[in-house]
Amino acid sequence: MNKEVYSICFMCSMRCPIKVKVKDGHVDWVEGNKHVAGIGSSLCPRGSAGKSMLYDDQRVQSPLIRVGERGSGNFRKASWEEAIDYVSGRLKEIIDKNGGHSVALCERTQFATHVSKTFLKAIKSPNHCTHDAICKGSVNTACRSLFGYTDGQVGIDYANTKHIVLYGRNIFESLGLKEVNSLMKALEKGAKLTYIDPRVTVTASKAHRYWMIRPGTDLALNYALMHVILKERLYNAGFVSKWIHGVNELRDFVEEYTPEWAEAETGISAEEIVSLAREISKNKPSVVFHFGYRGANHQNEIYMRRSILMLNALMGSVEVKGGLFFKKGPAEVGGKAARKLTSQDFPKIDMPRFDKVGTKDFPLPDPNHGVGQILPYAILNEDPYPIKALIAYRMDPLMSIADSNQTKRAFDKLDLLVSIEINYSNTAWYSDVILPESTYFERTDCVQQANGLKPQMFLRKKAVEPRYDTMDGAIILKKIGEKLGIGEYFPYETMEDLVNWQLEGTGFTMEDFEKKGFVAYGPDKIFWDRDNIPFKTPSGKIEFKSSLLEDAGFESFPKYEHIGQSEDGKFRLVIGRSVFHTHISTQNVPYLNEQESENKLWINTARANELGIKNNAVVEVASSCGKGRIKAFVTDLIHPEAVFMLHGYGHEAGRAKRSFNKGLSDALLQKNIYDEIGGSPAFHDTFVTVNPL
Ligand SMILES: Nc1nc2c(c(=O)[nH]1)N[C@H]1C(S)=C(S)[C@@H](COP(=O)(O)OP(=O)(O)OC[C@H]3O[C@@H](n4cnc5c(=O)[nH]c(N)nc54)[C@H](O)[C@@H]3O)O[C@H]1N2
Ligand SMILES: Nc1nc2c(c(=O)[nH]1)N[C@H]1C(S)=C(S)[C@@H](COP(=O)(O)OP(=O)(O)OC[C@H]3O[C@@H](n4cnc5c(=O)[nH]c(N)nc54)[C@H](O)[C@@H]3O)O[C@H]1N2
Ligand code: SF4
Ligand SMILES: [Mo]
């Protein structure tokens, strides 16, 4: 039987809308859903390789229970009944003895996140955390400090921008389809692209202006840009006087940060800095200083992200065509959002979170996400109390939290480690039980509420039957919940029941998604009146002088300090993604493994020559918490103070044969340090030695 199914790609979290062509029960072809603005038929390499993931037999095929040492990879096959009994039995013992709060669940935010949050609330655990803080927690905090909205509530009108500045936002490699297509459209219409990165990326090669900045100094650059903009009155005067709280304080503060001062710190000439400020101001307000995607680089990340957002505010590029906008939900047009299981009543939870977010010890990060990288510390130090069980749901803390050796030591203290996975991730390999989820082609998922200029809802719909003995995540958690006596919080038998429950009261039904893969609440793009923007800060304005920060005892305008000093010939380790892979998930996917099967260490030619390192030679890289071997890529395309490696290599699971032991894991080398105000890890504040073998 042949059919076409509209669904949502999940080879990465960008969740691009797709059309799946099914022939005789097999996925035959996948392409973009052309009904959706900004999505053409072409997918990115990973989206196109979805089929290769689906038909790969090196993914997890049935529930598995560990029989050997942790990490030995000795598992026995189990039926679902046995695996659910085992996990719920162990959880029950742990909860009875230590309380619900001794169970934590971490996950990559996804459509069923409301289900796992419900699971934890029902067992009285506050310890749900997502990947968000590890990806961009400080961007979220920075946005809230200025606008009162999270970064997730702020969008960028790429298609209409006239000049976009990207700070290491490697948008043409670390991509999402809509962003890339919309930006290409703007570039075709004559928009300018300024790209800033200590490494020459594909995005750098497409830029009108590229600056090889000294790593870790973007904040100095931004202070100097603000200095020029305020001194030469290049800002949008009407917007600034109406909406900005604290512009005079900023003017006084940046007085000392001249372009000449910034030249010495960043390596970018003063003249160039002045020229960008003057040029971009001509196109205001339809300009974008991109506030970043992964915002997890330095210990002062929140101030760097605030400085970018402040540049937008100075240009007046907020809630405007070609600039930043606030995402609109269904309520804007009198509609209702899909229900979430978390809207039910739950027992009260008295314990603080494991990461202390929301207490005076860690007041500012978003408690909706928590701060995942604290998990190893909380487990090891039993602070604020012992954590005994961890469920890793579509997240691999061993590779995605810095300092894998430390994370392993923490896992060794757990009584129970469970992974809900599709692959043999490093954490799955270390787990006591692996519960395999059906892939995105094989399952219907919870509703996606897509807020934006036009509020919409999307649906991931099952295209083919599961190939192996796998289940949907929301069903797995329900089944464990039933055994724990919290079944009433999961009022569904099938995913279709759950979707129907979510859609009740919205005026839409599942059938409505069939025609185009989504439903829209209204036809028009909604921009708020620029004279009446409902900023959610205490002053009702954009708070350069931030009550969020100052009330918690932090400065709004901290003096610039260089972050981390390279001594004794060490290099700053910087990282990123490639167009062929998603984080740590796809390195074993056959088509993608063929394209790129290992990572290399980018090192500047002059520095490599000093050390006697030849291109392609194996080198040893060492930090204070780990070391490993990797091939060198000797190149002029990287700043001499940095070395770069792709994230996602160094897999330890023997059953994932193609990626096993290929390349080196960045998490093995990185110190688990972070921005203690904003919440993001400081992935770029580890210094390493590099030596030839
Ligand atoms: N050292 C280091 N750490 C990092 C980063 C870094 O660059 N370096 N980057 C950070 C960033 S930006 C992010 S966003 C996070 C991402 O962190 P993670 O969420 O840990 O990484 P992902 O690769 O997105 O996916 C995690 C797991 O989900 C599994 N998976 C994929 N699809 C499914 C599915 O349908 N169901 C289930 N149950 N599992 C599935 C994959 O096999 C993979 O093992 O990592 C952060 N951590
Ligand atoms: N192909 C692909 N696309 C993806 C993903 C994926 O895994 N694969 N993941 C998605 C996710 S969750 C995320 S968070 C985004 C991440 O997308 P981006 O935020 O664009 O992040 P990275 O790919 O991590 O690239 C970081 C860049 O910062 C540069 N850099 C290093 N130090 C500095 C510095 O001091 N200053 C400046 N200005 N730049 C510096 C690095 O050289 C690197 O090129 O990508 C999303 N899209
Ligand atoms: S960016 Fe690529 S992998 Fe990610 S959802 Fe879109 S098509 Fe899929
Ligand atoms: Mo991310």
DSSP single-letter state for residue 378:
H
Q: Which helix (H) or strand (E) holds 4?
A: strand 3-8
Cα–Cα distance, 645 to 357 (Å, whole number): 31
Low-confidence ranges of the chain (pLDDT < 50): none
- Give whole-number Cα distances, 179 to 83, 160, 184, 572, 598, in Å: 41, 12, 9, 30, 27
Q: Which helix (H) or strand (E) holds 166?
A: strand 163-167
For ligand 4, the distance from its centroid to the CA atom of residue 612, given in whole angstroms, is 35
**Residue 196: which of 224, 173, 217 has the closest Cα?**
217
Using a 6 Å cutoff on CB, does residue 8 contact ligand 3? Answer: no
**Residue 278: which of 326, 345, 341, 231 has the closest Cα?**
231
Contact 390, 417 (CB under 8 A): yes
Residue with tokens 């052309």: 34
Cα–Cα distance, 88 to 527 (Å, whole number): 49
> Between the CA atoms of 645, 647, 650 and 651, what dihedral angle is there, to the nearest 10 degrees?
-170
- Superfamily of 158-322 according to CATH: Dimethylsulfoxide Reductase, domain 2 (3.40.228.10)
Assign 450 to helix, strand or coil. Answer: strand
The number of angstroms, rounded, from the C-alpha of 209 to the middle of its chain's C-alpha atoms is 27
Sign, CA dihedral 483-488-490-493, equals: positive
Amino acid found at 216: G
Count of helices and strands (H, E) across the chain: 23, 27
Closest atom of ligand 3 to 48 CA is: 7
Q: Which helix (H) or strand (E) holds 359?
A: none
Closest atom of ligand 1 to 670 CA is: 1
DSSP codes, 309-320: HHHHHHHT-BSS
- Give whole-number Cα distances, 286 to 68, 122, 326, 341, 689, in Å: 60, 47, 15, 40, 44
For ligand 4, the distance from its centroid to the CA atom of residue 28, given in whole angstroms, is 30
Helices (H), 34-153: 45-48, 50-54, 80-98, 113-122, 132-147
Q: Is the peptide bond before 215 cis (omega within 30 degrees of 0)?
A: no
For ligand 2, the distance from its centroid to the CA atom of residue 292, given in whole angstroms, is 8
DSSP codes, 293-358: S---S-TTHHHHHHHHHHHHHHHT-BSSTTSEEEPB-GGGGT--PPP-GGGS------SPPTT-BT
Question: What pLDDT is recorded for position 569?
Answer: 87
Cα–Cα distance, 675 to 190 (Å, whole number): 38
User: Probe ligand 1: pick from 404, 462, 585, 644, max atoms within 8 Å of CB?
Assistant: 585
CATH number of 571-692: 2.40.40.20
CATH number of 64-135+353-520: 3.40.50.740
Q: Which helix (H) or strand (E) holds 178?
A: helix 177-188
- CB neighbourhood size of 134 (10 A): 28
Using a 6 Å cutoff on CB, does residue 180 contact ligand 2? Answer: no
The answer to pTM > 0.95 is yes
**Residue 587: which of 576, 603, 599 has the closest Cα?**
599
For ligand 3, the distance from its centroid to the CA atom of residue 172, given in whole angstroms, is 12
Cα–Cα distance, 680 to 298 (Å, whole number): 8
Nearest ligand, measured from the Cα of 14: 3
Using a 6 Å cutoff on CB, does residue 670 contact ligand 1? Answer: yes
**Residue 658: which of 602, 609, 606, 597 has the closest Cα?**
597
Q: Which helix (H) or strand (E) holds 627?
A: strand 627-635
Domain map (residue ranges) of the chain? 64-135+353-520, 158-322, 571-692
User: Which positions ≥6 away from 348 have C-beta within 8 Å?
Assistant: none
For ligand 2, the distance from its centroid to the CA atom of residue 294, given in whole angstroms, is 6
Contact 618, 686 (CB under 8 A): no
Pairing assessment for the beta strands 26-32 and 64-66 based on DSSP bridges: unpaired
For ligand 2, the distance from its centroid to the CA atom of residue 437, given in whole angstroms, is 28
Closest atom of ligand 1 to 108 CA is: 19
Cα–Cα distance, 148 to 287 (Å, whole number): 21
* 59: β partners: none
Cα–Cα distance, 413 to 418 (Å, whole number): 14
Contact 499, 444 (CB under 8 A): yes
**Residue 412: which of 95, 668, 70, 91 has the closest Cα?**
70
Using a 6 Å cutoff on CB, does residue 647 contact ligand 1? Answer: yes
Nearest ligand, measured from the Cα of 427: 1
Using a 6 Å cutoff on CB, does residue 47 contact ligand 2? Answer: no
SS3 for 190-207 is CCEEEEECCECCHHHHCC
Cα–Cα distance, 109 to 383 (Å, whole number): 25
Closest atom of ligand 2 to 214 CA is: 35
Q: Which helix (H) or strand (E) holds 677?
A: none
For ligand 3, the distance from its centroid to the CA atom of residue 166, given in whole angstroms, is 21
Contact 347, 327 (CB under 8 A): no
User: Probe ligand 2: pick from 212, 577, 666, max atoms within 8 Å of CB?
Assistant: 577
Contact 307, 167 (CB under 8 A): no
Closest atom of ligand 2 to 215 CA is: 35
Using a 6 Å cutoff on CB, does residue 135 contact ligand 2? Answer: yes
Using a 6 Å cutoff on CB, does residue 267 contact ligand 2? Answer: no
Using a 6 Å cutoff on CB, does residue 588 contact ligand 1? Answer: no
Using a 6 Å cutoff on CB, does residue 174 contact ligand 2? Answer: yes
Nearest ligand, measured from the Cα of 596: 2
For ligand 4, the distance from its centroid to the CA atom of residue 136, given in whole angstroms, is 7
For ligand 1, the distance from its centroid to the CA atom of residue 597, given in whole angstroms, is 18
* 65: β partners: 76, 433
Cα–Cα distance, 10 to 13 (Å, whole number): 6
Question: What pLDDT is recorded for position 566?
Answer: 67
For ligand 3, the distance from its centroid to the CA atom of residue 380, given in whole angstroms, is 36
Using a 6 Å cutoff on CB, does residue 17 contact ligand 3? Answer: no
For ligand 3, the distance from its centroid to the CA atom of residue 556, given in whole angstroms, is 37
Question: What pLDDT is recorded for position 170?
Answer: 98
Q: Whose CA is nearest to atom 8 of ligand 3?
A: 47
Closest atom of ligand 2 to 292 CA is: 19
Using a 6 Å cutoff on CB, does residue 400 contact ligand 1? Answer: yes
Q: Is the peptide bond before 384 cis (omega within 30 degrees of 0)?
A: yes
- CB neighbourhood size of 247 (10 A): 18
Pairing assessment for the beta strands 448-450 and 456-458 based on DSSP bridges: antiparallel
The torsion region of residue 447 among left (phi > 0), alpha (psi -120 to 50) and beta comes to beta
What share of residues in the chain are helix, strand, coil (percent, to 5)?
35, 20, 50
Nearest ligand, measured from the Cα of 174: 2
Residue with tokens 């500012």: 364
Using a 6 Å cutoff on CB, does residue 10 contact ligand 1? Answer: yes
- What is the radius of gyration, based on Cα positions, of the chain? 25
Phi then psi for residue 632, to 5 deg, are -90, 140
Contact 401, 430 (CB under 8 A): no
Q: Which helix (H) or strand (E) holds 17?
A: strand 17-23
Contact 126, 358 (CB under 8 A): no
Question: What pLDDT is recorded for position 226?
Answer: 98
Cα–Cα distance, 319 to 623 (Å, whole number): 44
Using a 6 Å cutoff on CB, does residue 648 contact ligand 2? Answer: no
Using a 6 Å cutoff on CB, does residue 439 contact ligand 1? Answer: yes
Cα–Cα distance, 627 to 641 (Å, whole number): 19
User: Probe ligand 1: pick from 419, 584, 589, max atoms within 8 Å of CB?
Assistant: 584
Using a 6 Å cutoff on CB, does residue 626 contact ligand 3? Answer: no
User: Probe ligand 2: pick from 130, 173, 174, 394, max atoms within 8 Å of CB?
Assistant: 174
Sign, CA dihedral 427-428-431-436, equals: positive
DSSP codes, 486-543: -GGG---SSHHHHHHHHHTTTT--GGGGTTTSEEES-SS-----TTS----STTSSEE
